[in-house]
Amino acid sequence: MKKLFLIVFAFVTLGHLSAQTPEELINKVKAKLEKVNDYTAQGKLKTNVIFIKAPIASVRVYYKKPDRMKIVNEKGISFIPKGSVNINLAKFLSAAGNYEIVDAGKEATTGLRILKLLPTDENSDIVLSTLYIDEKTELIKKAKNTTRDNGTYELEMTYGKYSSYGLPDKVIFSFNTKDYKLPKGVTFDYDDGSQKKTRDDLKNKKGKVEITYSEYVINKGVDDSIFK
């Protein structure tokens, strides 16, 4: 009798876990993100794009609910991919009822749950968002977003001590770069013979921008003037 009870209990529990609906999972992820009203973070920004050679820049990232985000250079010059600052997962997820969720099963290699979010709002910048969620930690590990104006990009998040807030320690932003070309009459280049690149080499390449966060200050208030 006791054995039977345990078997039934295990079935019910496992059944419940595997039956975690996409909506429930999204709500749990959302709940984590919603704990954050604002934050300031120190970060190191690394650009890996075929036509840019730049040192790692120190940046400060500001966020305030619902969708205000700003990346400020502390020192040097940094290149922020177009549209990346305006697109915010927390804002997108909080728009409950504004998207349809399609369960796409699990990723074979990682076991991450794949959910596809299709916005119902015609004016939404994101056209399709595919989230790869770790069900145990309730964290988004990967996101592929197709946008109306800025093409498709991927986000890869690594979490550390701020995972309880859903805030990553490292974000890798992958995107398609567009052409880079300046007229030679403007640059007056010195031809040192090492420039093996051609214009075609620069077309439609994947670019990456990595931000490694070193310190978050969460829910301590961020002045509105920063976002102006």
Partner 1 sequence: MISLLKIEIFKIFKRPRTYIAFAVIALIIILIQVALKFGGEEYVGLMLSGMGDSFEKVPPENILNGYLVCFIILNLLLIHVPILVALVAGDAIAGEANMGTLRLLVSKPVSRAKLLFVKFTASVIYTLLLLIWVAILALFVSILVFGVNWLGVARELEFNVMEANDVMWRYALAFCFAAIGLICVASLAFMLSVFSDNSIGPIVATVCVIIVFTILTQMQIPFYDETIKPYLFTTHMLGWKGFFYVKAVDGVTVKGSIENLPAVLKSAAILVLYTLGFLGIAFWYFNKKNILS
Summarize as ranges the residues that interact with partner 1 (CB under 8 A).
46-56, 73, 75-82, 84-85, 175, 177-195, 197-199, 202, 207-208
Nearer to partner 1, 101 or 202 (CB): 202
CB of residue 49 to partner 1, shortest distance in Å: 6
Nearer to partner 1, 166 or 207 (CB): 207
Integer Cα distance of 210 and 171 in angstroms = 6
CB of residue 74 to partner 1, shortest distance in Å: 11
Cis peptide before 66 (omega within 30 of 0): yes
Are the C-beta atoms of 142 and 154 separated by less than 8 Å?
yes
Q: What is the DSSP letter of 46?
A: E
Are the C-beta atoms of 167 and 218 separated by less than 8 Å?
yes
Nearer to partner 1, 15 or 185 (CB): 185
Nearest to 41 by CA among 168, 223, 160: 168
CB of residue 228 to partner 1, shortest distance in Å: 13
CB of residue 205 to partner 1, shortest distance in Å: 10
Nearer to partner 1, 110 or 146 (CB): 146
Q: Count the neighbouring beta carbons within 10 Å of the beta carbon of residue 116.
A: 16
The neighbouring-strand residues paired with 132 are 114, 142
Nearer to partner 1, 122 or 200 (CB): 200
CB of residue 208 to partner 1, shortest distance in Å: 8
